[in-house]
Structure 1
Amino acid sequence: MKPFVFQHAQDVWPEGETLLHVYITPQDQDRELTALVTRAHDVLKDFPITPVALPWLHITVDQITDRVGANISATERDALVAELGKELANVEPFDVMIGSLMSYATGVIADVHPDGPLKGLHTTVRAAIQTVRGSNATGYPTKVPHLTLGYAAEECDSDQVQRKLRNEVRPGHAPMRVDAVHLVDVTSDTQAKTITWDHVATIPLGGS
């Protein structure tokens, strides 16, 4: 496992800049997920891996890549929220399963499945962003959906991490309800290996 590098489109996140993202975040009702993550964080204390604190857990749906957050005006943000709201009104809320936990190349992630509803959500969100800002605004590479539990701060043995996660975090799965996405202005700290954000808007699924 190697130290994690935060990414802007297919390049390194520009130092000191924020980036707009569309995230899925856990809710208070996802108590089994909270318990799962808490158990995993206890394991990560034994390794040079920075855990993602509960308030900052997220699944990335997409990243707006044509400009940094400071250069996207309130009017432009409002246009994004309006278009996302219009398109996501046609997407019904759904449930996903978080897990199994995996020691990855640069940290610890949890798989998220089934793929179908998440891929559909990503397609809808990306189309909405492109409608407002053009195709150059969606340069972030499409990835298999996942929830990051920790970012590697130093090199360590990923096999040891995986073994300890599998032995000590039981069960390794938890359900999660997806009934909204969030437009957020995200700050990354390269040294601390943390992600935080300012909330811009919550966009419900199904027009609720």
Structure 2
Amino acid sequence: MNFEAFKEWFTMENIMTLIQEYRSFGPLPGILLPMLEAFFPFLPLVILVMANANAFGLWIGFLLSWSGASVGAIFVFLFFRKFGQQRFLHFLHKHPKVQKLMNWVEQHGFGPIFLLLCFPFTPSALVNIVAGLSKVSIAQYMLAVITGKMVMIFTISFVGYDLRALITQPIRTILVSVVIFILWYVGKRIEVRLNKSVKREHSRG
């Protein structure tokens, strides 16, 4: 199976089937799949969260997705905090965008991390890596991850927990599409504004 075929396999139907087949393992698959997304950001977190909400119910599905995604993000952060200064990762520090984002995160701490993690279509993997390489405190980062992921994952879970209604109720489908578009648009606008602020402060410095 090549990379493109692997990515295409991650449809809602396939993930739902996988979760149903491994229900005998309890909540483990519902936690592990969102956790893996932190390490492999090409995985569709939105679909994983919706699948959990449909397989386990709104609240349990939300809790499983939230805990898995948060733990995965914290693992990535801790990995780069511990090994980011090693020679095999030193090239990351030289990347101009990474340097600018590191300076921004160090100066503003909780705020930009929280905002970026509130929206499902912003580059959370990059945020986790940059935060790990920066000097932001572990407490600040963990608070931003836990609260930001809570907002984002509950929104996705609430929007997509009843997939049958998306088929049988066209108005609900339209509303869900509008909400997802708004989340995408607002997340991208915040990302653009933060990037502009980073460039302004970098030029002043």
Shorter chain as denominator, the TM-score bin is under 0.3
Q: Select the structure that is richer in strand.
A: 1
Q: Normalising by structure 1, report the TM-score.
A: 0.26
Larger radius of gyration: 2
Q: Normalising by structure 2, report the TM-score.
A: 0.26
